Amino acid sequence: KNQVEQSPQSLIILEGKNCTLQCNYTVSPFSNLRWYKQDTGRGPVSLTIMTFSENTKSNGRYTATLDADTKQSSLHITASQLSDSASYICVVSTAGNNRKLIWGLGTSLAVNP
Amino acid sequence: IAGITQAPTSQILAAGRRMTLRCTQDMRHNAMYWYRQDLGLGLRLIHYSNTAGTTGKGEVPDGYSVSRANTDDFPLTLASAVPSQTSVYFCASSDSTRGDTGELFFGEGSRLTVL
């Protein structure tokens, strides 16, 4: 069964600290993996996309990694800011003719002053 | 730049009533989607449309219907609302006919409460 699991479920950190969010997937055949940020009361917004051949990709203070062998991805946030408080959702796309998006449940991050 | 516009922002309605959630995009994307988001269940696909004139069922289509008369509009209708349809509904679009691998652009959501 195609699944995407994220950890931790929630996380509280102090402003300025770094954190890493995890995404493990059992999706086959794999096409790509995206991280979305969802602010409270808003729709999700794409942060980055990882394809099979990419190991690391940065978007400002956000750095995503992908290990296609172990089927794991991480999202590292550097020097966190209050505006980073949000839910971070990992979604994996299948390949082939019947492509589907498999969504994780998200990690809720709170950055406190 | 509006992107995806959803209406209403929130609505309370009685069980058994008919309700249409509106979604309009100005990006000329060919693919559009309706998701519901519930605590502990994440985003679940209700219906999708790969191009104007075609629609398909997602993961949780029962009790919902959609139409895609043109590229920009993708309304979601609840024919007879039930309390289990209380949720936050998100409309999204993407610019690929194989939209499952394209970036999804989401609206701000419609919060629906069925009593």
Average pLDDT (A73-96) is: 96
| Contact between B100 and A42 using a beta-carbon 8 Å cutoff | no
Q: What was the pLDDT predicted at B97?
A: 57
Nearest to A101 among B4, B100, B107 (CB): B100
Q: What was the pLDDT predicted at B99?
A: 47
Q: How many angstroms away from the CA of B6 is the closest CA of chain A?
A: 11
pLDDT tens for B13-27 read 999 999 999 999 999
Q: What pairs with residue A25 in β-bridges?
A: A4
Q: What was the pLDDT predicted at A85?
A: 98
The torsion region of residue B42 among left (phi > 0), alpha (psi -120 to 50) and beta comes to left
CB atoms within 10 A of CB B10: 10
Q: How many angstroms away from the CA of A33 is the closest CA of chain B?
A: 9
Suggest the residue from B101, B103, B108, B111 to mutate for an interface test with chain A (most A CBs closer than 10 A): B101
pLDDT for A106 beyond 90:
yes
pLDDT tens for B68-86 read 999 999 999 999 999 999 9
Q: Which one-letter amino acid corresponds to residue B81?
A: A
pLDDT tens for A12-45 read 999 999 999 999 999 989 999 999 999 999 999 9
| Spatial CA neighbour of A25 closest among A88, A105, A84, A86 | A105
Total residue count of chain B as it appears in this document? 115
Phi, psi values for residue B89, rounded to 5°: -105, 130
Say which range, A47-56, A72-81, A92-101, B101-110, has the weakest mean pLDDT: A92-101
The whole-angstrom separation of Cα B2 and Cα A97 is: 32
Q: What was the pLDDT predicted at B102?
A: 75
Residue B103 DSSP class: P
Largest CA distance in chain B: 38
Interface residues of A toward B, Cβ cutoff 8 Å, are 31-32, 34, 41-46, 49, 89, 93-95, 99-101, 103-106
pLDDT tens for B21-70 read 999 999 999 999 999 999 989 999 999 999 999 999 999 999 999 999 99
